[in-house]
Amino acid sequence: MIAVLKPGTTQQQIDNLINWFKGRGLDVHLSVGQYRTILGLIGDTSKIDVELLEGLEMIESVKRITEPFKSANRKFHPDDSAVDIGGGIKLGGGHFQLIAGPCSVESAEQILGIAESVKASGATILRGGAFKPRTSPYDFQGLRAEGIELLLEAKKKTGMPIITEIMNQNHLPMFEEVDIIQVGARNMQNFELLKELGRTNKPILLKRGLANTLKELLMSAEYIMAGGNNNVILCERGIRTFETYTRNTLDLSAVPMLRELTHLPIVIDPSHATGMARLVKPMALAAAAAGADGIMIEVHNDPANALCDGAQSLTPAQFSEVAEKVRQIREVIAE
């Protein structure tokens, strides 16, 4: 981090500032020019509040050289991370996983039927919502605890690990046997929830908020990792732009950009990103081509009568086609 001081700053002020930085464990490199005095701060500056510094009378500007995220930063962890999902499955670091299942768990027959068909098509992880963060309080809110029970039954019968969303840290005891806990877009900055998940050792799939930057996504990952849980998977699911034909705008550049910034695995969710079943296949293929570590797709046995997100859900037959094409794309990019 570099701090540029205003002209006319006294030696006493400079000494005070240097001591303040040293008190925070930083080494300070002082550079006195004809018109400018510059302090180079060396060490872990992640706990330094840039806005506080910029507010000081003697400071002209502050520039971070290293990003404020530390645990997630590739600079300190050059190799890709692979998150251990359990059951011999890893995600990231060369391990690609296809996640599929309905938006919401609706019944035992529904979740088990979909699980069996997506497994047969090559899906390796089963998704299904039990607690649903719906925009309207009058929409289906999910089967809640019963939904998790049904997912666990499907897991037992198919052997597929399961992923489902948590909305409240008080629900954590219900997630004991859930393999991956999802933090939805709307909770990306629910910091108390993130801290609580940081105290577990569960794999966490963290979705990017609909109006959040990649830096904010990484800072949220940092919340989980700062608590000691490094099993974080990032998920791009579309962001809100001025476009209205699609539900959201899929930011596929997030894959190569995040790849540079972080060692954490990156999953793409083309279903929520586009909101339309017919756009899911091209976007899933593009995600595979961009090098995503995983793709998460909503699949329903009867999309027209789905209790949630039917318009963007693929039928098992459509999913099977996408899964095959994704496999082919991955072969091409591996060459």
The residues of the shown chain that bind Mn ion, judged by CB under 5 A, are 103, 309
Beta bridge partner(s), residue 129? 104
Side chain identity, residue 88: G
| C-alpha R_g of the chain | 23
Q: How far is the CB of 298 from Mn ion (least distance, A)?
A: 6
Closest residue to Mn ion using C-beta atoms: 103
Cβ closest to Mn ion, residue 14 vs residue 311: 311
**Nearest residue (CB) to Mn ion, 4 versus 140:** 140
State in angstroms the smallest separation of the CB of 308 from Mn ion: 6
Rounded-to-integer distance, Cα 245 and Cα 223, Å: 34
Burial class (CB in 10 A: 0-12, 13-18, 19+), 242: exposed
Cβ nearer to Mn ion, comparing 265 with 270 = 270
Collapsing DSSP to helix, strand or coil, 290 comes out as helix
Distance CA 248, CA 270 (A): 10
Which of 223, 215, 291 is CA-nearest to residue 259? 291
Our CB check for Mn ion shows the closer of 5 and 103 to be 103
Report the residue number, 207 or 263, with the smaller CB distance to Mn ion: 207
What minimum distance in Å lies between the beta carbon of 103 and Mn ion?
A: 3
Residue 305, helix vs strand vs coil:
helix
**For residues 179 and 309, which CB has a smaller minimum distance to Mn ion in the complex?**
309
Q: Which residues pair with 126 in a beta bridge?
A: 100, 162
Shortest separation between residue 75's beta carbon and Mn ion, angstroms: 35
Nearest distance, CB of residue 307 and Mn ion, angstroms: 10
Task: Give the N- to C-terminal CA distance of the chain in Å, as an integer.
Answer: 40
Least distance to Mn ion from the beta carbon of 129, Å? 6
Give the HSE-up count for residue 295: Cα atoms under 13 Å, Cβ half-sphere: 32
* Length, in residues, of the chain: 335
Question: Are the C-beta atoms of residues 200 and 47 closer than 8 Å to each other?
Answer: no
- Give one word for 269, left, alpha or beta, with left for phi > 0 and alpha for psi -120 to 50: beta
The pair of structure tokens assigned to 193 is 């929830």
Nearest approach in angstroms of CB 55 to Mn ion is 42
CB of 133 to Mn ion, least distance (A): 9
Nearer to Mn ion, 36 or 278 (CB): 278
Decide whether 142 or 161 has the Cβ nearer to Mn ion. 142
